[in-house]
Structure 1
């Protein structure tokens, strides 16, 4: 953690100790104690990625300002360092916590409708670029910017043969028949369990966004398709009441989750397991 401490001190934080955070595939992160006894959460990069932290800080501010979502306060951001207000862990086993999260995400999705999919700048998913090029066609946006965008990545190229790649392309061509049209809304973009914490008052707070105007169900897919506690079932029940979910949503969410599976392969994160999941989803198009 010496690198993190050095960069905190360079940025004007009198840090005396740091405890490494668990998880994450990109940054060196930890909870730092300052000389006055206060604490901050900070992360840095071993290799420079010029705008990664700037994009993340913007995403946190946008979610709070436009969507009313609780996010940690940004205390400092530089090309090499992001310093945030520290937050408590989420309450995994508390159904009311997941109900509050559902209402917050439903509010985000129902109050931020746009006329275009995308964002004014590209973002980051892990250590790789998220292509946010504007598009008025949601099916084309999902296909080109969220699914097919990953095929040229070296580890993804190596994971699938030509027939499997063609099956994925045929699935993308069929998206207009598989997904009913929906308007673009502001999305967190990486809404899995580890990016959910508690705010200072105990309610849910979100971290590590990859924001864009996208499909609301793209956010839901991250939570539904990744490991989560049983109490989180309440999220989907309450979200459906607050925002509405058409029949068949459980069958649609794996299509949106293709982006996360392909990204995980590209990052070499449980790559073999994710490749098998992709093959299962595209099997009807083989």
Structure 2
């Protein structure tokens, strides 16, 4: 979708001087907008509407209770395209220890149950967030199984994957009977591309996919796709100590994220999924 002058004129901004495409991920078109007085980050969803961004706005506002997030300026729909305007932030290299402490502060925000007040079904992957008292019920039925069904529809499944996932689900249910799990606020997509640092060194969390779940799920995601430095985990564990055996559950939660990538990008993630599935059921 090309942003025309007529389309831009309908944004709730005045004095637009420059609109420049920037990197915004695989889902949205993204732009830097400069006006006579300020700068903004614009996300656009062609053939969608403002409802697409409600989940992200909710996430940013919840995370902002304890960490820095981009300020939401406005959202809406123009000519069958949803948009979200955020304040522009200038980033620099930062300290992973500060990031670890920031993530720990997010995880200390809790809820009585697992889930969230709203589902997110406008995206490519469904996020069913119905509240559950039991973590295994939430993770198995509202995270793993919807992606398994989608993979089957896309012919990305196999008998081996089915067998391993069913075994993993049994293990997760067994674990939930003995381990006390507190529903923590999760970023939901905590990889290196969704964190940044301000010029003063403060960490910034962007592109959230929040819900209340096992905090170990966020940490499992940090260990995929390059991972974070040892300083991150040391600082996190000092601020909010983890169980000594939490490492054995890392693969359980990486299965979800690799299932997501399998559905989004195809069999190029199949071998990684298979490897982690085998690790998860050891």
Q: TM-score, normalised by structure 1?
A: 0.87
SS in 2 for 1:159: coil
Matches within 5 A, 1:245-264: 245-264=242-261
Larger deviation, residues 73-82 vs 158-167: 158-167
Matches within 5 A, 1:26-65: 26-34=27-35, 36=36, 38-65=38-65
SS in 2 for 1:267: helix
Residue 219 of structure 1 is matched in structure 2 by 218
Cα distance in structure 1, aligned partners of 2:43 and 2:50: 14
Q: Is the counterpart of residue 276 in structure 1 residue 271 in structure 2?
A: yes
Q: Is the contact between residue 155 and residue 265 of structure 1 (CA under 8 Å) also seen in structure 2?
A: no
Cα distance in structure 2, aligned partners of 1:124 and 1:101: 30
State the shift of 1:208 in Å.
0.7
State the shift of 1:37 in Å.
5.5
Q: Is the counterpart of residue 236 in structure 1 residue 233 in structure 2?
A: yes
Work out the number of aligned pairs and report it.
Answer: 274
Q: Is the contact between residue 71 and residue 199 of structure 1 (CA under 8 Å) also seen in structure 2?
A: no
Larger deviation, residues 155-164 vs 184-193: 155-164
SS in 2 for 1:45: strand
Q: Is the contact between residue 225 and residue 253 of structure 1 (CA under 8 Å) also seen in structure 2?
A: no
Residue 208 of structure 1 is matched in structure 2 by 207
Cα distance in structure 2, aligned partners of 1:257 and 1:101: 21
Q: Is the contact between residue 251 and residue 276 of structure 2 (CA under 8 Å) also seen in structure 1?
A: yes
Cα distance in structure 2, aligned partners of 1:260 and 1:6: 39
Q: Is the counterpart of residue 76 in structure 1 residue 74 in structure 2?
A: yes
Q: 1:130 aligns with which of 127, 130, 135?
A: 127
Residue 100 of structure 1 is matched in structure 2 by 98
Q: Is the counterpart of residue 22 in structure 1 residue 19 in structure 2?
A: no
State the shift of 1:23 in Å.
4.9
Q: Is the contact between residue 150 and residue 156 of structure 1 (CA under 8 Å) also seen in structure 2?
A: no
SS in 1 for 2:126: strand
Larger deviation, residues 80-89 vs 203-212: 80-89
> Which structure shows the higher helix fraction?
1
Cα distance in structure 2, aligned partners of 1:124 and 1:4: 29
Residue 120 of structure 1 is matched in structure 2 by 117
State the shift of 1:7 in Å.
4.2
Unaligned regions of 5+ residues in structure 2, if any? none
Residue 141 of structure 2 is matched in structure 1 by 144
Q: Is the contact between residue 20 and residue 29 of structure 1 (CA under 8 Å) also seen in structure 2?
A: yes
Unaligned regions of 5+ residues in structure 1, if any? none
Cα distance in structure 2, aligned partners of 1:4 and 1:102: 42
SS in 2 for 1:127: coil
